[in-house]
Structure 1
Amino acid sequence: MGRVLKTFSEATLEAMEEEMNRDPSVFVYGEDIVKQGGMWGQFKGLHDKFGDRVRDTPISETALVGAGVGAALAGGRPIIDLHYADFIGITMDEVLNQMAKAHYMFGGQGTVPLVLRAPDGVFPHGAAQHSQSLETWFVSIPGIKVVVPSTPENGKGLLKAAIRSNNPVIFFENKKLFGVKGLVSESEVITPLDKAEVVHEGKDLTIVSYGYFLGEVLKTVEQAEKEYGITIEVIDLRSINPIDEETIIDSVKKTGKLIIAHEAIKTGGVGSEVSAIVSEKAFNYIKKPIIRVGAKFSPVPFSPQLEKGVTTNGGEVLLAIKKLLVE
Structure 2
Amino acid sequence: MNKIQEKRSIRAFMLSNVMAGLEGSIVATALPAMMAELHGIKLMSWVVTIYMLLMAVSSPIWTKLAERFGYKQMFVLGTLLFTIGSLGEGLAINMLMVIVARALMGLGAGVMIQLPFVIYGMMYQADERRRVIGNTVAAYSFSTIAGPIVGGLIVTLLDWRWVFFINIPIGIYMAFIVWKNFDLKTDHTKKSIDFAGSASLSIAVIAIMLLFQMMGNAVINLPLLLILFVVSFLFFIGFYFAEKRAVDPIVPLELFKNPSFIAKNIMFFMQYGFFGFYTNYLPTWGQGVMGAQRL
The structure with the largest strand share of the pair is 1
The structure with the largest helix share of the pair is 2
Normalised by the size of structure 1, how large is the TM-score?
0.26
Taking CA–CA contacts closer than 8 Å with sequence separation of 6 or more, which of the two structures ends up with the larger relative contact order?
Answer: 2
Normalised by the size of structure 2, how large is the TM-score?
0.28
